[in-house]
A = this chain, B = another copy of it.
Amino acid sequence: MREVLAQAAFQLFLERGFERTTVDDIVARAGVGRRSFFRYFPSKEDAVFPDHERCLAEMTEFLAADDGGDPVGAVCDAARIVLRMYAANPEFSVQRYRLTREVPGLRTYELSVVRRYEQTLAGHLRGRFGEDGDGELRAEVIAASVVAAHNNGLRLWLRSGGAGDPEAAVDHALALVREVWGRSVAPAPAVPFPVSHGVEGEGDGEVIVMVARKGAPMWRVVQQIEAAVGES
């Protein structure tokens, strides 16, 4: 019933436009009573995004099962749950993307949903980092970075009409966030850092020595250090 209503609503939004479709139109098309609509959807906007509540619940559950590894990796993986929801139905997702861009009320609704994802991720990171010091700040900034990267990759795919593999663009975007933030918050590794690039380490192996080209951008330097660390 929920799905029947959502489908009827979406067909009508595409045919007549969102603003010109009433809840009465929707229930007539679906062949049910008006009260049925409001049993499933608080508003017309909610019928356009029928899966976000389930997706938010899935994200919360996923994060609750976090085993205490890399926290940035965990929230990146949690963000991929949203991607999979979009990828499960490319045609619908692309049509909805186009509809949302045209209707201010739907854009606003989407902003609220995105904010809830962001707060879910930030809440998890706050729990991992602790609220002392910069824990809250780092949690919020990293959550915002993850959401922005995810949405950049997702939007690329939606703009392309849903062709090809959306995972690739999102993986690439999230890799940038992990590159920049990943190691900044991971626990210190149990093994000593290896010495890279043939330069001797000082002292008792408690240091990493790193040589980078003058023109190298900082993210490349970070990537190099991470690659060196990964060698162990």
Contact = CB atoms under 8 A, between A and B. Distances in A.
B141 A149 contact: yes
Tallying the copies of this chain within the complex gives 2
Given A108-B112, A137-B176, 16 more contacts: A108-B111, A111-B111, A137-B152, A141-B173, A144-B147, A180-B180, A182-B218, A183-B218, A184-B218, A206-B213, A206-B214, A207-B214, A208-B212, A209-B211, A210-B210, A218-B226
Interface in A193-224: 193, 199, 201-202, 205-215, 217-219, 221-222
A212 to B, nearest CB: 5
Contact of A184 (B115, B172, B180): B180
A59 interface: no
Contacts of A173: 137, 141
Interface of A: 107-108, 111-112, 115, 134, 136-138, 140-141, 143-145, 147-149, 151-153, 172-173, 176-177, 180-186, 188, 192-193, 199, 201-202, 205-215, 217-219, 221-222, 225-226
11 contacts: A108-B111, A137-B176, A138-B176, A140-B152, A185-B217, A192-B214, A199-B199, A201-B211, A207-B212, A207-B213, A210-B212
Contacts of A211: 201-202, 207-210
Secondary structure type dominating chain A contacts: helix
